[in-house]
Amino acid sequence: MSLADVTYLPETPAHDPEIDVINEEAFGPGRFARAAYKIREGGPHERALSFVAMDGGKVIASVRMTRIAAGKGRALMLGPLAVRPAYKNLGIGRKLVAMALEAATKAASPAVLLVGDEPYYGPLGFKKIPRGQISMPRPVDLERLLAHEIAAGSVAKLAGEVCHADQFAVPA
């Protein structure tokens, strides 16, 4: 396998079964108990902003984006990002994140949020969200809440509990 053999495509419904397998490999059955998964249960992900990496007609990596809301803020949540074990540490995940961020910018999303490791995502433009600014529907390490700001001031508008944008109830 050469990186020249890897192609990157927008995600389609035909990719779903392979993406499910990759996510199971990467995160195991515990993924269903995670805070980010709870948010994703609230509605569909944005397929037009989600991508796969392919090698020989097989999905080898995937990244998804989901619309979220918190307080007056709106953003996209990146994840899950998963790469098959044989393809890790080759830059495929970073390329998928870059593609997702570019798509989010073109779609005029104000920001992208994720739960992840700052050493990995920091060089891609993600910064810690101030502790206590947002909360998640299930326990999460607050040091792992990161955001990539696209529109100035957009991360500051995210406040309170994060939910899928389809589940957001505007306060009366």
pLDDT at 40: 87
pLDDT at 31: 73
pLDDT at 170: 56
The C-alpha atoms of residue 61 and residue 158 are separated, in whole angstroms, by: 29
The predicted model scores a pTM of 0.92
The C-alpha atoms of residue 92 and residue 20 are separated, in whole angstroms, by: 18
Mean pLDDT score of the chain? 92
- Give tens-digit pLDDT for 18-73: 999 998 888 877 676 687 888 988 899 999 999 999 999 999 999 999 999 999 99
Are residues 50 and 64 in contact, defined by beta-carbon separation less than 8 angstroms? yes
Among candidate residues 120, 108, 111, 42, the one with its CA nearest the CA of residue 77: 111
The C-alpha atoms of residue 8 and residue 150 are separated, in whole angstroms, by: 23
The C-alpha atoms of residue 128 and residue 19 are separated, in whole angstroms, by: 28
- Res. 172 pLDDT band, cuts 50 70 90: very low
- Give tens-digit pLDDT for 109-167: 999 999 999 999 999 999 999 999 999 998 899 899 999 999 999 999 999 999 999 98
Domains of the chain and CATH, by start: 3-167 (3.40.630.30)
Cα(first)–Cα(last) distance of the chain, in Å?
Answer: 56
The C-alpha atoms of residue 126 and residue 55 are separated, in whole angstroms, by: 28
